[in-house]
Structure 1
Amino acid sequence: MRPVIVRTVAELRAMVRGWKAEGAAVGVVPTMGALHDGHLSLVRAAQRDCKRVIVTIFVNPKQFNSADDLAKYPRTEAADAALLAPLGVDAIFAPMPDEVYPEGFATNVSVGGISTRLEGLHRPGHFDGVATVVTKLFGMTLADRAYFGEKDWQQLQVVRRLVADLNLPVEIVGCPTIREPDNLARSSRNVRLSPEARTIASALPREMAKAAGAMRAGGPVHPTLDAAKAALLAAGFDEVEYIDLCDAETLLWIDELDGPGRLLAAAWVGGVRLIDNIAV
């Protein structure tokens, strides 16, 4: 049996208030659709913690820097609903754009500091779009807990900062990255890779793991990162936007590994932009 698909905030809130009147904890898994096993792992995590689970499907125009990228983003609602059906999700919230951003919408949520590095440098305004829609989704769903994948590590830290700073009554739960057999992180964008590009893409997690191991063993940070970038380009990547070692929580760049670090990277292959991160 497929989950109920809800289109309006009024209908969703009425449903959630009924659940809460029964004492049920409510979890939300925010997505942009094109679901894969990574998303389903978030749903399962939510179901372990919460009596009721909502999956949101909304391709958020405010977090795209390119109209072309927005147009190309896969929209597969029927297939997504079919994937969710065996899991017994309680509702899919799939609003139209004007339900989320009605005429006259004029508010922007911006998280300073942590959002300005890495992805923030290469995708100006992206995290403002993320922060704005996430704030809205928390208010729309009235969720007690929200589940995000660690693949988008910077996004996870931005959302945690947002919730802490604004005292939002929702617990943010980070869940491990789900990977392919060759360790490429699962992503909705992977389906756009040609067979050749998909083979090349496996070099990203491989070279990141090699660099992380070298730095854990005491290797110098910057030469190790330079070597990893060169190896990715030699493997066939078209461009490496960044491969950086950062503090795991603040995402400030670090020159020496003396605490919990995170290695984060973004690179292009075959016209597709891939991101990944691993603990160091």
Structure 2
Amino acid sequence: MQSVNTRLTSLLGAATPSKLREELLQARASVSDLGNKPLPIGCGFIGWILDSQEEQYKEVVDTAIESGVRAIWVSFGNDLPRWINYIRGSPAYAVHKPLIFAQVTSLEEAIKAVKDWKVDVLVVQGNESGGHGSATAPSTMVLLSEVLAALPKDSAPPVLAAGGIANGTQAAAYLTAGASGAVLGTRFLLTPESPYSDAQKSVLLGATSLQTVRSLAFDDARGTNSWPAGIDGRGIRNKIVGDVETGADAQTLQERFRAAAQAGDPDYLLVWSGQGISLVNDIKPAKVGNI
């Protein structure tokens, strides 16, 4: 199995069935000669967000399946098995069966995902990853090695490595180590297609791995602090983190964050980034062969 990039990067906290259907129709129209074949992308769902408005998000999940996406990716929830069962029990799933990806951050979770959840693809995310992940996860290579050693060789699903991967050389190293593919995230923020602003991209272009930091400060600032225990986010260190370290409470932090956003203050930009950012120094289109 070659390196896979099938995740539709979209924060589904504000998604509606109609909005998602519209976006997926646009995606389908952009692929020539696709017809009624499955759409060669996936939809990623964050578990705790699904839990927050269950009935709404059941419709959103159904819409993704009905739209013919090739994969459904789930992560960061306290009850992911329930959502995996919901996907498989959806009437739309009887017609079109997308692959179910589960992202895990520990060996224990990986074993459950394979043995109990019966996922189609396992994504092991190491501590180097940008955006959200486990504060206590091992490095990507260590976690991958642990998982591959623990899973049965003849019946395990494909295992993808995620976290800090920014180029083809790194991806090849993980393939050599036994991964079935590699997942890149931060690399795709520095593309023309990325929704990141020019200011955010400028921060990334000038950043190094030493400037990234794992912290709950970013979520405290924007008021999205309902992540499962042990999950935080890795981004570029700035005044958001500095304010928390000097004792600013959540209300003060949010007020400063909102004011800075209105003023366009780059010192308070929220810029997610993995440690592989040191290896990314240009903006390239998101197409095959560019890493």
The answer to whether TM tops 0.5 is no
TM-score, structure 2 as length reference: 0.30
TM-score, structure 1 as length reference: 0.31
